[in-house]
């Protein structure tokens, strides 16, 4: 690479960039706002997803057996369950064990002295390999003549995930709109720079510079605005994470806030650069064709 050429190019970009400092700040700010929202959204989505799939994978189907089903017959059922490819595990909890566990969970306040007999049925705890198949597996098990009833907590979780999905779509639409507005601001900024540099552009065209060459500094400038905006946004997000997440984590102890931060940062920078590139490409192209 010819260092002199590189220096000339970078000099032109910098001169462009500083010429419309005010406009550039607006552009960078708009990109930053967009990307802060995008980042927060992606962060939240990843957290909800991790949380949701975590919960779902832990869902147990409680299979309550009919009263007359003794331990031997129950073992037969267990073998049948274990053979099904959708089932990850099936553990047998006889009624005595069930009562013991209940006492252990509920503690000393749970008084069993009044019970004349154990009211709990023999139970299987079944885990499905795929959280999505839980309803099917539960329905299949319920058909067995030895089974009184199956139960699982999936309804709640599935509602949660569905809500998260809808919110996700709304979020994507919102971010798309914001990206478009950021692109428009950048494109206007570039158009101002193009206008400020119309003499240079005219001379470049006159002496035989290619359109691609003329375009490059403006593209670089747009990308610079996009990347700087993304950088500002990442700073804001990092600060927010530092301030807010510990408090949230204290309140919502069951939610894990684990997000791949490096990937997220790179994604956001890429989005900023892409918005800048597309916006400036379009606005310079329009000028060169005219």
**Member of 209, 240, 264, 274 binding other proteins (CB under 8 A):** 209
Could you tell me which stretch among 102-110, 151-159, 197-205, 267-275 binds other proteins (CB under 8 A)? 197-205
Could you tell me which stretch among 31-39, 53-61, 122-130, 205-213 binds other proteins (CB under 8 A)? 205-213
Strands (E), the chain: 60-65, 87-93, 123-128, 147-151
**38-43-49 Cα angle (round to 5):** 125
The DSSP 8-state label assigned to residue 122 in this structure reads P
**Member of 79, 104, 206, 290 binding other proteins (CB under 8 A):** 206
Nearest residue to 126 via CA among 155, 84, 161, 97: 84
Q: How far apart are the two ends of the chain, measured CA to CA in Å? A: 33
198 binding other proteins? (CB under 8 A): no
213 binding other proteins? (CB under 8 A): yes
d(CA 189, CA 4): 28
8 binding other proteins? (CB under 8 A): yes
210 binding other proteins? (CB under 8 A): yes
Count residues binding other proteins (CB under 8 A).
19
Beta carbon of residue 208, minimum distance to other proteins (angstroms, whole number): 4
Tokens of 114: 């009044």
d(CA 26, CA 43): 25
Indicate the residue among 15 and 37 with the shorter CB distance to other proteins.
15
Tokens of 61: 């189907």
104 binding other proteins? (CB under 8 A): no
d(CA 78, CA 76): 5
Could you tell me which stretch among 1-9, 31-39, 224-232, 241-249 binds other proteins (CB under 8 A)? 1-9
**Member of 204, 236, 245, 264 binding other proteins (CB under 8 A):** 204
CA distances 140 to 75, 80, 85, Å, are 18, 12, 13
242 binding other proteins? (CB under 8 A): no
Beta carbon of residue 26, minimum distance to other proteins (angstroms, whole number): 24
Residue bearing tokens 């004349």: 116
110 binding other proteins? (CB under 8 A): no
205 binding other proteins? (CB under 8 A): yes
208 binding other proteins? (CB under 8 A): yes
Could you tell me which stretch among 94-102, 126-134, 208-216, 235-243 binds other proteins (CB under 8 A)? 208-216
14 binding other proteins? (CB under 8 A): no
Indicate the residue among 44 and 204 with the shorter CB distance to other proteins.
204
Beta carbon of residue 178, minimum distance to other proteins (angstroms, whole number): 36
68 binding other proteins? (CB under 8 A): no
207 binding other proteins? (CB under 8 A): yes
Residues 105-144 as b/e (b if ≥16 CB within 10 A, e otherwise) read eeeeeeeeeeeeeeebbbbbebbbeebeebeebbeebeeb
Nearest residue to 219 via CA among 284, 141, 133, 143: 284
* Residues binding other proteins (CB under 8 A): 2-5, 8, 199-200, 202-211, 213-214
């Amino acid at each position: 690479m010819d260092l002199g050429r590189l220096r000339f190019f970078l000099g032109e970009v910098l001169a462009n960039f500083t010429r419309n400092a005010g406009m550039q700040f607006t552009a960078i700010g708009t990109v930053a706002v967009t990307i802060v929202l995008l980042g927060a959204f992606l962060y939240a989505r990843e957290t909800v997803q991790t949380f949701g799939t975590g919960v779902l994978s832990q869902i147990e189907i409680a299979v309550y057996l009919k009263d007359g089903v003794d331990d031997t017959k129950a073992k037969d059922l267990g073998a049948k369950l274990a053979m099904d490819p959708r089932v990850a595990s099936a553990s047998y909890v006889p009624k005595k064990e069930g009562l013991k566990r209940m006492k252990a969970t509920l503690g000393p306040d749970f008084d069993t002295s009044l019970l004349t007999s154990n009211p709990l049925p023999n139970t299987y705890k079944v885990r499905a390999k795929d959280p999505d198949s839980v309803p099917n597996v539960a329905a299949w098990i319920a058909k067995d003549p030895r089974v009184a009833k199956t139960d699982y907590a999936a309804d709640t979780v599935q509602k949660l995930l569905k809500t998260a999905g809808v919110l996700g779509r709304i979020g994507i639409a919102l971010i798309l709109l914001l990206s478009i507005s950021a692109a428009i601001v950048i494109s206007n900024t570039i158009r101002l720079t193009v206008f400020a540099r119309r003499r240079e552009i005219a001379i470049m065209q006159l002496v035989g510079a290619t359109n691609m060459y003329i375009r490059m500094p403006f593209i670089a400038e747009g990308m610079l605005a996009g990347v700087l905006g993304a950088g500002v946004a990442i700073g804001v997000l990092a600060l927010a994470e530092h301030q807010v997440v510990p408090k949230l984590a204290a309140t919502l102890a069951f939610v894990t806030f684990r997000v791949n931060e490096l990937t997220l940062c790179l994604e956001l920078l890429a989005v900023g650069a892409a918005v800048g590139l597309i916006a400036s490409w379009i606005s310079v192209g329009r000028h060169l064709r005219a």
